Each structure stands twice: as structure tokens, then as C-alpha cells.
Amino acid sequence: MSKNYDEMSFTTRAIHVGNEADTATGAIEPAIYMANSYLLPYDASQMNWSASEANIYTRNGGVNQGMLERKIANLHGGEDCVVLASGVAALSALFFTKLKKGDHVIFSTVTYVATYRIFNELWTEKWGIETTIVDCTDVENIRKAIRPNTRLIHFETPGNPTLCICDIEAIVQLAHECGIEVSVDNTFSSPYNTRPLEYGVDYVVESLTKYINGHGDTMGGAIIASHDFLEKVRYQAQVNIGGCISPFAAWLIQRGCSTFPLRMQVHNDNALAVAEWLERQPCVSFVAYPGLKNHKGHELAKKQMKNGFGGVLSFGLKGEHDLYNRVVTHLNVFTSAVSLGNAASLIVFLGEDDERMYLYPEEFHNGFYRVAIGIEDKNDLIHDLKQAFEAEGLETVD
């Protein structure tokens, strides 16, 4: 019996879409199909070798990948989805399929480091792609940067790591008036908080490694867009360039997705509580979190981020470089590591030598922490920061 997922809530769909029972065995949870190829029909010459519906070879796609793709497309409200080996694989596949030599791309001053390197170094030098980097929080900056050969505007919201907020709807309106398409990296928000396709975005990219998987034990990335475009991605980028996801990784992310909405709400709530506590501390020089009322993009974030403001924040201390390193040694709950979206809270010090630092607001220039808040008890998280600050003689208040 087919299920009408349109009548179900986001939380219910996160569990059920793509998780159909196995009719052959009766198993109510998906198996891991660790096969690199699939049985061909009697006359393989009659097959459409480029069709995504046909299981042929795991680089083309597979059972576990297909299950996960249906789930992610549904949660984003998208027509189709391609799942790849990592978020960067998804970004690269999108740009590889969309762009050609001589095209111009506008991208945000605040982007993930791999995106920055792709557009600021690798593709300009190797492939002849023209790029302009602008502060996308002001739509007028984008308007001024548009050229006759502009083909794509790419940004993140919130941006990594300054947590700046871009106006998705306004950027899409400007871009489409000029015949330009828009891609958004939605990793810091997740489809639980923001679904960019609802604002007319053409391509959404997300690192499934983060909130959707949520357990820090595998990697994956997704592109959500039209079926016609993603068929090109499958053939041009996935099959012929690679970056395909393993069945086991797809299975892990599929499993993680079942609890994703519940976890995401805790990430949202915990991050807001920690940000509000940090904002009151005399030893803290600044806090960047869109859930704070004094954040420049707070009102816009309230409009775009329906259920909360995400689990990542950044903050600075009033002190020298090594103070940041010393404080981390006193932490018991937070783990000093990169990434985000894990059940466990993570903290990383980004020093003055970060290659993108010149693009950030001035308060970031002396170094700062990027904190990925987990789903532990929020009081334990606040207490851990408090005792670490006090161990270095920093003043705190309740």
C-alpha cells in the first residue's frame, strides 16, 4: 500500500520516507547492500544505462543511496536529490555540472573553506572560471557584481563561521530577474530550520555529515534540485568524476535521519541558551549567533529559520592568542575538534592565520572560537565553559 507522505509532519517523514519494509525478507528496516554491481537483464542492450532508476554499478547509484535520496528530497520539498560521498563532493559536482570555462560566479565573503578555495584559487586558475567575492548580506553588492556572463550566485546562510545571514528571497528575486541561478549551502541551518527551495533557490547543497547524520561517524553530501539537472549531475559528475557514496555511509545517514528532527530542536535550544549566557560574560568580547536579538541578521533569521537558529555559534575572548588554547585544556564536556552536528559538543579555535580572516568582521580578526553545540544537557555545557574560564582567572557571572 502506498503512503501519502504529503499528509505527514516533517518529523514523521524523516522516519518513514525511504524506509519501506523489505518485501523479500519482511525486515522492517533497510539492509546494507554492499554490492559494487547489480544483476543485468537478459538483454542488457535494451537498458538505459544513464537512467537513475536502474541499478547497474554502485558508482552510478545503488539501493541504499536511492533510499536516502528519496528521504532528503522529501525533507527539502525538492523534486530530486543526488547523494555523494561528502559535502565537498556535492559542491564540486554541482559546480562541475553547472559551470564551464568563461562563466562568472558571485560568491559570499563567508563560505566554507573548501568553497572559498574552489572559487578563489582552484577553478579560476585551472578551469578559467571567473569569480567575484562579495558581502552577500547586502543585495546591492551582488547587483553591482553582476556581469553579462554571470551564471551562478552562491552563498551560505548562516555563513560559516561568522553566522552572517543572507536574504534568500531577495537574492533569488534579483538573480532570476537577471537570468542567473542561485545555489545555497544549507548545512548550518538544515532542512528542519530552513528549506531554501521554498524561496525559489535553484540548487541546495548540504553536508549530510553534519546534522542529518548527527553521530560523527560517517560522511555524505547532497544536492537537491530538479530531476533534469540532477540526471546531468549523475552522469557528468558522479559516474565520470566519482565521489560516490558507499552503501554503508548511506545506510548510516538514513538511520541518523530518523532522529534528526528531535536532535535538531535540542541543538537549536542549547545553542541559544549557551549564546545568551556567553553574551553576559565580562571576559567575552563578542558572540555571533543569529538567535541573539542584537545580531545584525536576527529579524531576517527569524523569518527564514522557522524552528530555531541552528547549533553553531562563534565567540571571542578578551585576551591573547594562547589564552584560547589554555581555556580548551580545562574543558570536560566540549571536545576540541572540527565539524558540527554531532551529538557531542565540539569547539575549535580559529586563529589569526585563517586564510579567510581578511573577509570577516573586525571582531573576528584576533582569533575566535567556533562552537558546535551538541545535545547534552545545556546546564552541563554552560557549567563546563564557566569552570574553564575561571580556571584561567577569567571573570564570569551567572
* CATH number for the domain that contains residue 237: 3.40.640.10
Instruction: Give the CA distances from residue 298 to residues 113, 142, 237, 295, 325, in Å, rounded to whole numbers and listed in that order.
Output: 24, 21, 37, 5, 30
The residue assigned the cell 525538492 is: 78
List Cβ neighbours of 139 (8 Å cut-off, separation of 6 or more). 167, 170, 171, 174
- Name the strand (E) or helix (H) holding 104: strand 104-108
Residue 188 lies in a domain: yes
Per-residue pLDDT, 217: 97
Give the residue among 256, 269, 220 at the shortest CA–CA distance from 375: 269
Q: Are residues 318 and 218 in the same domain?
A: no
Q: How many domains are contained in the chain? A: 2
Are 200 and 266 in the same domain?
A: no
Q: Say if 170 falls within a structural domain.
A: yes
Of the three residues 213, 242, 257, the one that is the final residue of a domain is: 257
Q: What is the pLDDT along the chain (398 residues), one digit of tens a residue?
A: 467 888 899 999 999 999 988 888 999 999 999 999 988 887 777 777 666 677 888 888 999 999 999 999 999 999 999 999 999 999 999 999 999 999 999 999 999 999 999 999 998 889 999 999 999 999 999 999 999 999 999 999 999 999 999 999 999 999 999 999 999 999 999 999 999 999 999 999 999 999 999 999 999 999 999 999 999 999 999 999 999 999 999 999 999 999 999 999 999 999 999 999 999 999 999 999 999 999 999 999 999 999 999 999 999 999 999 999 999 999 999 999 999 999 999 999 998 877 888 899 999 999 999 999 999 999 999 999 999 999 999 999 99
Confidence at residue 354, expressed as pLDDT on a 0 to 100 scale: 79
Question: Does residue 94 sit in the same domain as residue 212?
Answer: yes
CATH code for position 264: 3.90.1150.10
Q: Are 221 and 242 in a shared domain?
A: yes
What value does the CA radius of gyration of the chain take, rounded to a whole number of Å? 22
Any domain includes 12? yes
Domain end, chosen from 205, 225, 257, is at 257
Q: Is residue 397 part of a domain?
A: no
Rounded Cα distance, 189 and 199, in Å:
15
243 and 351 housed in the same domain: no
Q: Please check whether residue 253 is in contact with residue 208, taking contact to mean a CB–CB distance below 8 angstroms.
A: yes
Looking at residue 352, its pLDDT comes to: 80
Cα–Cα distances (Å) from 42 to 10, 48, 49, 341, in that order, read: 42, 14, 15, 46
Q: Does 174 lie in the same domain as 46?
A: yes
Q: Are residues 218 and 332 in the same domain?
A: no
In a domain, 2, yes or no: no
Q: What CA–CA distances, in Å, run from 174 to 144, 159, 162, 178, 254? A: 11, 20, 24, 7, 36
The residues pairing with 156 across neighbouring beta strands, listed in sequence order, are 185
203 and 103, same domain (yes or no): yes
In this structure, the answer to whether residues 219 and 244 fall within a common structural domain is yes
Looking at the fold, whether 183 and 278 belong to one and the same domain comes out as: no
- Grid coordinates of 199: 524561496
Nearest-5° angle of CA 278, CA 318, CA 116?
80
Question: 346 and 381 in one domain?
Answer: yes
* Structural domain containing residue 272: 260-391
pLDDT for position 46: 77
Q: What pLDDT does residue 51 have?
A: 60
346 and 204 in a common domain? no
Q: Is 301 exposed, middle or buried (0-12, 13-18, 19+ CB in 10 A)?
A: buried
Closest CA to 34 of 245, 343, 344: 245
Burial readout 308-338 (b: 16 or more C-beta within 10 A, e: otherwise): bbbbbbbbbbebeeebbeebbeebebbbeee
342 touches 374 (CB < 8 A): yes
In a domain, 398, yes or no: no
Answer yes or no: is 37 within a domain: yes
Among 257, 281, 299, the domain-final residue is 257
Q: Which of 229, 254, 280, 275 is nearest to 82 (CA)?
A: 229
Q: What is the pLDDT of residue 24?
A: 87
Q: Is the residue at 396 inside a domain?
A: no
